[in-house]
A and B are shown apart, each in its own frame.
Chain A
Amino acid sequence: MHSPPAIPLRRLYRVALVVAALFGLLSFNAAAQTAPPPDSLWTVKMPQVVVTATRTARTLRDVPIPTQVVTAQEIEAGGTRRLSDLLAEQTGLALVYDHGAGIQVQGLASDYTLILIDGEPVIGRTAGTLDLDRLTVADLERVEIVRGPSSSLYGSEALAGVINLITRKPADGFHAGADLHVETHQTLDLSADTDFRHNRLAGRFLLNRYRSGGYDLAPDVLGPTLPGFTDYTTSSRLTFEQNERATWNLSARLARQAQRSVAEVRLGETLIPYDDAANRTDWSLAPSFTYRFAPGVKGTLKGYASRYFTDLTLRDQNDGSVFSTSRFDQFYGKAEAQMDAIIGRSQLATFGSGYLSESVTADRVQGGRRSSTNVYGFAQHEWIASRQWTFILSARLDVHSDYATRLSPKAAFRYKPFSRLRLRASAGSGFKAPTFQQRYLDFTNPLAGYSVFGATDAVKALQQLDAQGQIVRFLTDITALQEIRPETAIAFNAGLEWNPIDRLELQLNFFRNNVSDLIEAAPVAVKPNGQQVFTYFNLNRIYTQGVEADFTLRPHRTVAVSLGYQYLDARDRDVLAALAEGSLYKRVNGRDRRVTRDEYGGLFNRSRHAGSLRVLYHSESSGFTVSLRGLYRGRYGFGDANGNLILDDASEYVPAYTLWHLTLTRAVGPYVSAQAGVKNLFDKTNPEHIPVLAGRLLFAGLKFNLRP
């Protein structure tokens, strides 16, 4: 199965560019002559409603937890196609690539951020990364980004933040749309969607096909820098309002990605070319039922099932023989009940409980397949004490079959001394469950001879080895091994929103995350071959702290200018202790000396400074939109180069860089808009450290929006 030949696609690309340009030019007058509504940015007139921070619908301004909303209009104005591209443009979020594009929130690794679609988790992580290139933004109404831990509502993974993709709600009547987007590197994104609302029935359906041809920044090496892939996504939702009280919902999603590449494997003196095929399928199904017992009292029953599976095959190009295969299959099933009740005029109580079952089938998993269960309950109480004060308390208890029980509390308040100033603060805890690997791995390196066991089976596996005479010596008393705990955080957020005049808004948020019990492998026993047996322990401690600032100015009704900045300080507390002790060294010109505290650059992959500039022009009368974004990423460490495993040397940094993206959109009559733009205007690349930085990309697109 190979990708379609390149030529027709290139032709299509050119045709589309020309068509887009023509549409834009020819229709200029026509569009200008349509009845002009007043110029304005589509800053939402209605108060923005968000659901992620409290699991209830609240207006954004009332939420005491740092929440950011990216609206569909902003997504469209930027022309981004995948969630990774969209999040990369948000202040304080950074993409980190490790087996896919993951997102770093408040300086915490991507496995600490929960990704939701309409409130339900997206599953399927590789090496902790949930690849955000998997997710299209085609059918989104908005993206909600909650910073700081939300495990008190969502449980595992909601440690650094929660990113919730809210899909479009059908409007009255019938609507159909289509979207065509072509881009350098034979990228083609096609979407067709439809939605309707008729009496009590509403529905939505999306079909998206995204194909990228990949690219090669290092032609002297066999295989592309980034291989091409084709991704299909269908997503649908059906809502039936049975009566005033009862509402039924069914959401379904299916995505499939195929990636073909070539890779060289060194076998002795020769390099053997391999065909590398990777397929990924994930689906989810979410039925739910909501019943309104009384005004302000609502109950919801939800089911959620999701499966994620991948298979990878390396095949010898010379004789077609299979060199290696690897498969991974994860299932996630959940049943949950939630009650929301408004009590009196100022109290809102939310509570619920659920049962979660997960299983994984993979190579190197003990027994090939393992499963676990998680029973949980959560409660939240919101008290609107006065016009000035709002308080929220929440907590969740997770009882899991594989690791220690975890209670996650959180408290937050909002204070509005006067209408133009809002202060808020929150303190909460978050956790991340040990990964499947950390729980179930059963691996012995066939050549080196060392073994690694997941924490769930470690004691049993060690006793078995001991009984077989395969243990020379224990390095620790295994009967005293503690049950593995989730990685946990305690976090504080405090900030303000201030709009001294209508056209100006300033947002500030200070954060501090103390993460402890980071899980690492450590030796527990020695085998007769001298090699060690490893299992997983709760060991390291890190912290991240900093400030996020956003400043938005609207000098004119048609223009918005935003400046964003994040200062970040992220360090390993055990490294700090070692530095204080003077027990960390570096080698400079062949001599060893102690590393000073000033030389320590903190955790890898963290930029101390990051910033963004956003200029948006939108004129309703001319139908013209310009979006210019400048994204600065300060230098950051890529890895250790001098043997002491920490970031302490200038040679260990990726230099700072700035990317500029420009997107022009023009309404072409009532149903069509044309778009063209440039990503990475100044063609920045860094093949050695940032292979995903593809260089300058040109794109053009057409969007049809039919609403008879």
Chain B
Amino acid sequence: MFTEPALLLGSLTTIDMRILLLPTLLLFLLASGCDSDPASVDEIPEPELMLVEDLPADPFVAFVEGRPVGTGRFTFFSLRENRIVPAADSASTEWDLALQGSLLLTNGGTSGPGNGGAQVYEGIFEEVTEAPASGYAVDAEGTPAITPGSGNGWYNYDFATNLLTPIPGRVLLIRTADGKYVKLRILSYYKGAPATPDADSEGRYFTFEYLYQPDGSRTFE
């Protein structure tokens, strides 16, 4: 098998066999070797599709008045390195995406010191070959770049079933803390990414795929 940066990733795995080996190795190289070995043009990896499974985003830990609540903490994630960033580094530019429940923040504006931002793009993930030059919002007090609320951002919420479903045809275009571009598609909000979540499904676990362009261009090809 392969050596994944499992120590850092925790429960995350990359499963698409076609894309497993190369990015994992490259990421490993990136993660371990970038500082000492400045990358030449040849060494900048091709953008590869990454799959993140069951990333916990403040899962429910207790019940208050019969309703499940979490601890209120964010999970910080580096899209560049496909790993969870310790909460201690929340004030750094280490992370690109912070997740708590259905709320997604990017590393910029009121959320972090980075150059991050995002926009919700309507279209098909595979068809997004280039990130738009403009249209990115930056997190501000009360108005995150990825607008919360049913139908506004990445999900629909069904009051009848209390289920949260990713909206097909929504692509999150995210600027990383260091100003690089990512296209990201949420696949599931529930643990194990069940095909049809039900009342027993455990929420606040993200499964998503994304493509990170490390060369700083806006192209995803």
Contacts and interface: CB of A to CB of B under 8 A. Distances in A.
Interface string A624-653: 000000000000000111111100000000
B156 A473 contact: no
A523 B153 CA distance: 13
Contacts of A529: 142
Contacts of A593: 124
B142 A644 contact: no
B174 to A, nearest CB: 17
Nearest to B63: A268
B168 A585 contact: yes
A592 interface: yes
B195 to A, nearest CB: 9
B196 A640 contact: no
B122 interface: yes
Given A590-B187, A592-B168, A527 B142 contact: yes
A592 B185 contact: yes
Contact of B196 (A592, A641, A645): A641
A591 interface: yes
Nearest to A323: B66
Contacts of A268: 62-63, 66
B169 A528 contact: no
Given A526-B142, A526-B143, A267 B66 contact: yes
B169 A584 contact: yes
B15 to A, nearest CB: 12
A430 B185 CA distance: 44
Given A523-B149, A640-B158, A591 B126 contact: yes
A642 B168 contact: yes
A592 B144 contact: no
B167 interface: yes
A36 interface: no
Contacts of B125: 592
Interface string B126-162: 1000000000000001111000110110011010100
Contacts of B152: 523
A557 to B, nearest CB: 52
B121 to A, nearest CB: 11
A45 B158 CA distance: 54
Contacts of B192: none
Nearest to B101: A448
B101 to A, nearest CB: 10
Contacts of B166: 587, 643
A530 B72 CA distance: 14
> Among the interface residues B122, B155, B169, which one has the most CB atoms of the partner chain A within 10 A?
B169
B90 interface: no
Interface residues of A, number: 32
Interface in A516-536: 523, 526-532
Nearest to B166: A643
B66 A643 contact: no
A472 interface: yes
B31 interface: no
Interface in B35-64: 62-64
Nearest to A522: B151
A586 B168 contact: yes
Contacts of B185: 592
Contacts of B64: 447
A530 B160 CA distance: 23
Nearest to B144: A530
A643 B189 CA distance: 12
A532 B65 CA distance: 23
A532 B149 contact: yes
B156 A592 contact: no
Contacts of A530: 103, 142-144, 148
Contacts of B63: 267-268
B176 interface: no
A639 B160 contact: yes
Contacts of A639: 158, 160
Given A584-B169, A586-B168, A472 B142 contact: yes
Interface in A253-309: 265-268
A583 interface: yes
> Among the interface residues A268, A592, A594, A639, which one has the most CB atoms of the partner chain B within 10 A?
A592
A583 B169 contact: yes
A84 to B, nearest CB: 22
B67 interface: yes
A642 B187 CA distance: 11
> Among the interface residues B142, B155, B196, which one has the most CB atoms of the partner chain A within 10 A?
B142
Contact of A472 (B66, B103, B143): B143
Contacts of B169: 583-586, 592, 594, 644
A643 B167 contact: yes
A641 B161 CA distance: 11
B165 interface: yes
Nearest to B187: A590
B69 interface: yes
A643 B168 contact: yes
A8 B65 CA distance: 42
A592 B124 contact: yes
A587 B144 contact: no
Nearest to B64: A447
A640 B160 CA distance: 11
A528 B63 CA distance: 25
Nearest to A528: B142
Contact of A447 (B69, B156, B196): B69
Interface in B198-221: none
Contacts of B156: 640, 643-645
B204 to A, nearest CB: 14
Contacts of B143: 472-473, 526, 530
Contacts of B126: 591-592
B162 to A, nearest CB: 11
Nearest to A526: B142
Interface in A592-628: 592-594
A255 B67 CA distance: 37
B196 A473 contact: no
Contacts of B62: 268
Interface in A561-587: 583-587
A525 B148 CA distance: 13
A528 B141 CA distance: 7
Contacts of A527: 142
A639 B165 CA distance: 13
Contact of A587 (B66, B103, B168): B168
Interface in B52-110: 62-67, 69, 103
A642 B156 CA distance: 10
A531 B165 CA distance: 19
A528 B110 CA distance: 13
A428 to B, nearest CB: 33
A265 B124 contact: no
Contact of A585 (B69, B124, B187): B124
Given A639-B160, A640-B158, A643-B167, A583 B142 contact: no
Contacts of A642: 165, 168
Contacts of A584: 169
> Among the interface residues B168, B185, B187, which one has the most CB atoms of the partner chain A within 10 A?
B168
A489 B84 CA distance: 54
Nearest to B66: A267
* A-B pairs with lowest CB-CB distance, top 9: A585-B169, A643-B165, A268-B63, A472-B142, A585-B168, A587-B168, A267-B66, A526-B142, A592-B168
23 contacts: A472-B142, A473-B143, A523-B152, A528-B141, A529-B142, A530-B143, A530-B148, A532-B149, A583-B122, A584-B169, A585-B124, A585-B169, A585-B170, A587-B168, A591-B126, A592-B168, A594-B124, A640-B158, A642-B165, A642-B168, A643-B168, A644-B156, A644-B169
Given A532-B149, A591-B126, A592-B168, 5 more contacts: A267-B66, A268-B66, A594-B169, A641-B196, A643-B167
